Structures are given as structure tokens and as C-alpha cells.
A and B are shown apart, each in its own frame.
Chain A
């Protein structure tokens, strides 16, 4: 079974700073997908970024980028020039490639951006 671990329950930074959220996972699969989802106070789950394990290049979406270390089974999210609207719970998630079905989520990191 796959497991996803987010070791930082809470983080807090000042607006415009850069912040990195950590995620590690455990799997015996070679091909899989990794995701970061954002859940603001509205409770809506919003896809932030996606990474395919077979791609060596780290995914980037505007101010959001990942550091994917396959051998270390690590998948961190970097948010640059943080904004007040980035305040949310962030969930790291894993999905198998073969017979991909469910997302396996970590416990989440509560990120607060302070003005």
C-alpha cells in the first residue's frame, strides 16, 4: 500500500517570501503521478500542480514549482513570491499509473501567509 507523509502540520511566512512544503511517499511502483492540492477556507479542493514520475523535469506552474526526487521518494512544493491568497491547507497526493484509481493523500500542511 502507498503512504504519503507531510511532516509539517503548520507553516507561516510573510507575504512575498518563498516557502517550501515537504512531502515524502512510500511505494513499490515505478510509474505513478504526484499532485499538490490546495484547500482554502472555502473547502474547495484545487489542483495546484502535477508531476509524472517518468519525467525527470520538475513541474512548474507560475509561482508554484516542485522538487521531485524519485530515488528519495520526495516531492516538495515551492511557492515563490507568496500571496495572501495562498493561505490554505496543502495536500500532497499519490496515484498509481497502472490501474490508476484513487488518490492517496497526506495529512496536509496548513500554510498561513501573513501581511
Chain B
């Protein structure tokens, strides 16, 4: 158990819908990262937050957005979902930028 929690574990929804994925970092970790793992794209970095502020953006679509709240939990919002958004979404956290990243169990999103 890495100490990072993600909910829900599984999510099945339809095209065009909007979903929210939630992540709670390890106690004391200020930095949260979101990654997408799909068969065709592999593991890709989406976005990073540090202590409530956005720090870095990767290959994140405009239909996707994220935020980190004062209690340091983070949410990833995916809207206008397409079949190709089906993937495993990981959240990771670290003490600070540059430290080891510990991954949550992931949320499996299936878009039908």
C-alpha cells in the first residue's frame, strides 16, 4: 500500500458524459501528479499540482481539467468523453517536486 488513495476503482460511462476522478496523496505530500495509461499511448503524464497550484502540464486534452484543494486532495475532471479516453488513470504523490513519486491503485475508466 503506497498510501495514495484513488476513487472510484472502476468507472463505466457513455460517450459525451463527464466524470470526476479523486485522489488523496500520502500524508505530508504536497505534490500530486496525474498519469494516463492506455494500450496505444503507454504511460503519459497529464498534469502536476504542488500545494494547490498547477506546476506542469503534459499531454492533457482541453476536455480534461484538474485541481488540488486546500486539504491537498486532487480531482481530475474528464468531459465530453470519447471511446479513446478509456484508460487507467493514475494519481501519484511526492513530498516535493523531484522526490520519488508513489502511485495510487488507479481508476479504470471505460467509455462505451
Q: Which residue numbers of A lie inside 8 Å of B, CB to CB?
A: 33, 35, 37, 42-47, 50, 91, 95, 97, 99-108
25 of the cross-chain contacts (CB-CB < 8 Å) are A37-B103, A43-B88, A43-B108, A44-B103, A44-B106, A45-B90, A45-B92, A45-B106, A46-B103, A47-B102, A91-B43, A95-B98, A97-B98, A99-B97, A100-B97, A101-B33, A101-B48, A101-B56, A102-B56, A103-B33, A103-B43, A103-B101, A105-B42, A107-B42, A108-B43
Chain A neighbourhood of B90, CB < 8 A: 45
A95 CB contacts on chain B under 8 angstroms: 98
Contact A100 B43 (CB under 8 A): no
Is the C-beta of B100 less than 8 angstroms from some C-beta in chain A? yes
Give the number of residue pairs across the A-B interface with Cβ within 8 Å.
53
Is B105 within 8 A of A102, CB to CB? no
Residues of A within 8 A of B100 (CB): 35, 47, 50
B58 CB-CB contact with A under 8 Å? yes
Contact B97 A101 (CB under 8 A): yes
Are A104 and B106 in contact (CB-based, < 8 A)?
Answer: no
Beta-carbon contact of B105 and A43 below 8 Å: yes
Provide the main secondary structure of the chain A interface: loop
Interface of B is mostly: strand
Q: Which residues of A contact B43 (CB under 8 A)?
A: 91, 103, 105, 108
CA distance A105 to B38 in the complex (A): 13
Identify the closest chain B residue to A102 (Cβ).
Answer: B45
CA distance A108 to B58 in the complex (A): 20
Q: Contacts of A50 on B, CB cut-off 8 Å?
A: 100
Q: Which chain B residue has the least Cβ–Cβ distance from A107?
A: B42
Does B55 belong to the interface (CB within 8 Å)?
yes
Shortest distance from the beta carbon of A32 to any chain B beta carbon, whole Å: 10
With A43-B106, A45-B90, A45-B103 as known contacts, state yes or no: A104 contacts B45, CB within 8 Å. Answer: yes
Interface centre among B48, B55, B98, B106 (most CB of A within 10 A): B98
